[in-house]
Structure 1
Amino acid sequence: MMLAGALKQMKVVMGNIYRRIRERSFAAALTLTALLVVGTLAGAAPANAVADPATASISGIVTIDTGGVLSPGADVQVYAVTASHAWVTSVQNDATGHYSLTPLPAGEYKLNSSGWQSGIISEWYQDSPDFAAATVVSVANAQARQGVDAQVTVGGKITGTVTKNVDGVITPVQSAYVTVYSADGEASFSWASVKADGTYSVGSRPSGDYVVYFQTFYSSLANEYSRNAADFTSAQRIAMRVGQTTLGIDAVLETGSTITGTVTSNIDGTAKPLAGVRVSATATSALEYQGEASSGQTDAAGHYSMIGLAAGSYKIRFYNTDSAVVSKWHTDANDFATATAVAVTAHATVPNIDANLQAASSISGTVTQTFGGVAKVARSYVDVYSATSGDYITGGPTAVD
């Protein structure tokens, strides 16, 4: 169950990151009305690629420092990454702390040691905190480089219980996730799924102040930040110290608010209900990559409902996945920046957040790749972005032919 929850959380988090990048983070400005971005999902290797025999290896021992006591670093994953940030391979060390990255092509690598199960602070080779400062480890063809050791430290940890208050009855929340953010909101560091009894534990953090975010997905419960805060700015900062556990960082989630409305289209000149439109609400105070707060989809009558919203301000997007109509933000805006915010109070329903979507134009073409001649790339993805705002507009895979 823990693995399933972890996979679900990673799927949602990565989905939110990908959506955030596609919808709000593209900054290129071109003179065209729309910019086409083509990416290959799976294809042949570049024409100039030369096979390099992977016959080298890097090995060493990882030890864990727990309050000055060194022990073999079991449950530590060691990663080999190239200077261009390309992942090459990884391995988990054994009970004695020993690891061996093999086989490797000759080249230069940066090594990272991580281990959420062991509670250690992720670090790069020779105690470097980030990729840029990491020491390069070089290997020649067929070289077995040994003694590339690492000493890692057990980070700070916070624990608590997540419950829900529904009509005055307090019970554990069994499908929630807890995320730890840096105090400045620049990065999301660690997360954990809540156990069946509502308890959680998040670790692997260096000493510092953090904000804790409690969230559920697709439920009527409103998400909240540490100490019952509705937004990041007002959340209490929680101190974490290396090798120590901060207890009692609890949350009581309550039933959130709802936004409802109807989506119509004028494809044939007459306003008609539009089914299958995805509607999402993003907090105006949302952190980068945090993603949407709630979402819904229109039914056959064009109606939608988004539940589980905390009190705050939101911007609403209407997105039709079949691209027959133009995606819009409330009210009739083309991007997040110009969208009209919707104010939501606690335990309330905000009705009539409607949209009328116009028929969309289309762009078509053929994607090819030069590899021993001209050949079609069957598994590519084409994205369309606004040249003025950088907002993601639509996208889709190329046909097999």
Structure 2
Amino acid sequence: MARRRAFIRVVLGAAAALALALGGVTAAAAEDDPVLTGSISGTVTSTVGGTALAGIEVRAQRNSDAGWHTVVTNASGAYTFSGLADGSYLVRFFDPAGDYATEYWDDARDSLGAQRVAVVDGSAHPGVDAALAPTPTSSISGTVTRADDGTPVSGARVTADGTDGYWTSTLTDGAGRYTLGSLPEGSYVIGFHAEGTDLKRGYWRNASEYSQAEPIVIAEHTTTSGIDASLAAGGSIAGVVTRTDDGEALANVTVNALDMNGEIAAFARTDLTGGYHIDGLPAGSYRVQFAEPGPGLSAEYWENAYSFDAAKIVVVTESQTTTGIDAALETVGYISGSVTKSSDGTRALGRITITSVDDDRHAYFSGASNDGTYQVAVAPGEYRVLFEPFDSDLRAEYWADAFTKASATPVTVPSGASVVGIDAQLDAAAIVAGTVTLDTAVEREVIVEAWSGNQIVGTTFADAQTGAYSLALPEGSFILKASALFHDGTTIAQPQFYDGVATSALATPVVATVGAPVTGIDFTLVAVTNPGPQPKPTLALAAGSIRAGKDITISGTGFAPGASIAFELHSDPIALGTLTADADGALQGTLRIPASAPAGAHTLVALSGTTAIARTALTVTAAAGTGVGTGTGAAGQAGGSAATPGTGLARTGLDAPVAVVAIGVILSVMGGMLVRRRRVES
């Protein structure tokens, strides 16, 4: 869980940096803003005796704003923000005296775990309280040196990544010494990163990878010393970064080398000639990301890719330099429009998600301004635009007037162009609500989905404390499903369909109608700890042999529900197309074997992203003649959906849980910051 939180924390920061570099993921200003009447208020106390805390700095930041609103608690520990614009606010509690630990509402240690306060139509929000714990006093210290000559390493970044989500860092002094102070009790992975040198990263004790590190366990009020590191020199990656439009060299571009787990192994910045040199890399395979290109330019991966999975791999040899890893960066374009309510034409505040048609992991977020307008800077390409309102009485939709990704109208953005008029008029939603009960307190996310056939038309999270949820849907008949994602890595719960059944085929459909909320659609999930190995995806073919140019019928089970699975014919990969798993994780459909496929024994491989997750043998016989069945896309299907090669992508927006969306988006914008972790898809 700590690794997951740490990764998401850094990429959220990187997303903000990228937004600024692109000239903003920005919202257009309103000419006549309404009177600002929203408010947030509460009381701050100590966890020791419940004493009121005066002088605590409370900050509130709206999601779409760069700055903070700041107030200080009075003698009774009370505070109030007034005159707030509509939006979703992050609230932080900080003790300038340092006697109490910083906290975010509601009882979160960092912004990632924080609950936002939604101000809608000038609403008031009392009771946004905090109980602050005394600042912890434990520490970890040590020394960092070079392995080749034992000299101290000055300015090395030392990080502590806690299992409970706590993360901190410091730099070594001139003698290579460091101290990580004010640590809560717990277990920590200690990392050593000599940025800007030829030294490889390392972890305690003598580990080169995060997963190999030996955790340090500390108790309250303790000092742990002697946590030293000896860092060795590594290999390098070098190249030049320019602009596509005029070939001009680009200085001060951040270039990251990401290992196969998506962790930033090392990074560099380009000089005045556009050149860069990333040092300190262990031998292995990397993806190179050009992450902070400057105003008006788009971030990308080598070569000409916009997501981690699509990036071409760079191989590094120990103590050698891999050269020629160059990039020519594109000028961004813009998508803009408005989001209003169809009932009266007034603004509809919410989130806009813009996702590449070719690569769902290449995506952008924006918020609508107070007048309902927005503008988003994007790399040249073809995109789907999803509008998700903050108002639970409105339903989300894609542009233009579509409720599934497959039916969305793509928006094409040329380099440097502005595409305007990408508007949405959001309709009233049909509401389905209920409660998801779980028999465990293990930290988790609980997700409720509404399915229509093989499409997810609505998804939401159940409240972490009460299990309550509410889905905003179009009118129609749907299959509802509840599932849980646990953070401890050892607990699972089998998904459940309404009403208390294990498969979609047995589920009772729920009919949703605008103006007539459906309540009491409840679920009960049963948690199991250490359940043992889980079934892996399996494939079955209608026949073990197929003539080139003909269609082969494929079925499978055990896939992620709603996942778009790409298929290839190996050994020389031939892309065949994609099939989509249904709510039970089963898929079925037909794909065409190209007439050009060589005769002989092959392997049919199913891929999630770039990872092979299932395979089966297939014999291909020679085509009957030339010009027969030469298409390489999918043709026809049953019980699933097929698409042409290149569309085997994870779902987003209305078609996937928000947690999956968030992880996919942030991979596309991760900047050159401190080393963190990335969750690996299976």
The corresponding residue for 2:145 is 63
2:195 pairs with one of 113, 116, 131: 116
1:355-374 equivalences under 5 Å are 355-359=424-428
Shift of 1:200: 3.6
1:306-325 equivalences under 5 Å are 306-311=376-381, 313-319=382-388
For 1:187 and 1:57, locate their aligned partners in 2 and report how far apart those are by CA, in whole Å: 26
Shift of 1:361: 9.4
Shift of 1:13: 3.0
The corresponding residue for 2:315 is 239
- 1:40 matched to 2:42? The reply is no
Unaligned runs of 5+ in 1: 1-7, 23-37, 363-381, 393-401
- 1:267 matched to 2:343? The reply is yes
For 1:195 and 1:275, locate their aligned partners in 2 and report how far apart those are by CA, in whole Å: 45
What SS does structure 1 have at the residue aligned with 2:258?
strand
The corresponding residue for 1:35 is none
Alpha-carbon contact 1:262-1:273 (below 8 Å) kept: no
2:408 pairs with one of 340, 343, 347: 340
The corresponding residue for 2:249 is 172
- 1:283 matched to 2:356? The reply is yes
For 1:12 and 1:188, locate their aligned partners in 2 and report how far apart those are by CA, in whole Å: 12
- 1:98 matched to 2:167? The reply is no
For 2:428 and 2:236, locate their aligned partners in 1 and report how far apart those are by CA, in whole Å: 52
Q: Could you give the per-residue CA deviations for residues 191-234 of structure 1, whole angstroms, max 9, x where no partner exists?
A: 55545553444444322222223355795544443234566666
Alpha-carbon contact 1:77-1:113 (below 8 Å) kept: yes
Question: Structure 1 residues 310 and 74, CA, compared in 2 at 3 Å: closer, same or farther?
Answer: same
The corresponding residue for 1:153 is 232
Question: Structure 1 residues 261 and 199, CA, compared in 2 at 3 Å: closer, same or farther?
Answer: same
What SS does structure 2 have at the residue aligned with 1:11?
helix
For 2:144 and 2:272, locate their aligned partners in 1 and report how far apart those are by CA, in whole Å: 33
The corresponding residue for 1:391 is 658
Shift of 1:314: 2.4
Larger radius of gyration: 2
For 1:215 and 1:61, locate their aligned partners in 2 and report how far apart those are by CA, in whole Å: 31
The corresponding residue for 2:15 is 13
For 2:338 and 2:132, locate their aligned partners in 1 and report how far apart those are by CA, in whole Å: 47
What SS does structure 2 have at the residue aligned with 1:318?
strand
For 1:109 and 1:59, locate their aligned partners in 2 and report how far apart those are by CA, in whole Å: 13
Alpha-carbon contact 1:77-1:93 (below 8 Å) kept: yes
Shift of 1:125: 0.9
Question: Structure 1 residues 132 and 253, CA, compared in 2 at 3 Å: closer, same or farther?
Answer: closer
Shift of 1:266: 1.4
Q: Could you give the per-residue CA deviations for residues 289-317 of structure 1, whole angstroms, max 9, x where no partner exists?
A: x642x7686796x7765454233x42212
Alpha-carbon contact 1:112-1:124 (below 8 Å) kept: yes
1:114-263 equivalences under 5 Å are 114-137=193-216, 146-166=225-245, 169-174=246-251, 176-182=253-259, 186-187=262-263, 189-195=265-271, 197-215=273-291, 220-229=296-305, 235-256=311-332, 259=335, 263=339
For 1:230 and 1:287, locate their aligned partners in 2 and report how far apart those are by CA, in whole Å: 10
User: Whose RCO is larger (CA < 8 A, sep 6+)?
Assistant: 1
Alpha-carbon contact 1:16-1:291 (below 8 Å) kept: no
Unaligned runs of 5+ in 2: 1-9, 20-24, 26-62, 64-104, 110-129, 432-465, 472-479, 482-655, 660-682
Shift of 1:161: 2.7
The number of equivalent residue pairs is: 330
Alpha-carbon contact 2:258-2:264 (below 8 Å) kept: yes
Q: Could you give the per-residue CA deviations for residues 149-182 of structure 1, whole angstroms, max 9, x where no partner exists?
A: 222233433233322143xx33233574434334
Question: Structure 1 residues 359 and 170, CA, compared in 2 at 3 Å: closer, same or farther?
Answer: same
1:78 pairs with one of 154, 158, 183: 158
Question: Quick one: which amino acid aligns to residue 303 of structure 2?
Answer: R
For 2:367 and 2:219, locate their aligned partners in 1 and report how far apart those are by CA, in whole Å: 54
For 1:53 and 1:327, locate their aligned partners in 2 and report how far apart those are by CA, in whole Å: 44
For 2:217 and 2:307, locate their aligned partners in 1 and report how far apart those are by CA, in whole Å: 46
Alpha-carbon contact 2:387-2:397 (below 8 Å) kept: yes
For 1:40 and 1:53, locate their aligned partners in 2 and report how far apart those are by CA, in whole Å: 16
Question: Quick one: which amino acid aligns to residue 391 of structure 1?
Answer: V
For 2:162 and 2:307, locate their aligned partners in 1 and report how far apart those are by CA, in whole Å: 38
Question: Structure 1 residues 240 and 70, CA, compared in 2 at 3 Å: closer, same or farther?
Answer: farther
Alpha-carbon contact 2:253-2:294 (below 8 Å) kept: no
Shift of 1:73: 2.2
Alpha-carbon contact 2:153-2:194 (below 8 Å) kept: no
Alpha-carbon contact 1:61-1:147 (below 8 Å) kept: yes
What SS does structure 2 have at the residue aligned with 1:40?
coil
What SS does structure 1 have at the residue aligned with 2:15?
helix
For 2:352 and 2:268, locate their aligned partners in 1 and report how far apart those are by CA, in whole Å: 28
Question: Structure 1 residues 385 and 226, CA, compared in 2 at 3 Å: closer, same or farther?
Answer: farther
The corresponding residue for 1:396 is none
For 1:60 and 1:84, locate their aligned partners in 2 and report how far apart those are by CA, in whole Å: 23
Alpha-carbon contact 1:112-1:123 (below 8 Å) kept: yes
Q: Could you give the per-residue CA deviations for residues 6-64 of structure 1, whole angstroms, max 9, x where no partner exists?
A: xx9973336899x9xx9xxxxxxxxxxxxxxx843572147xxxx7984x654433222
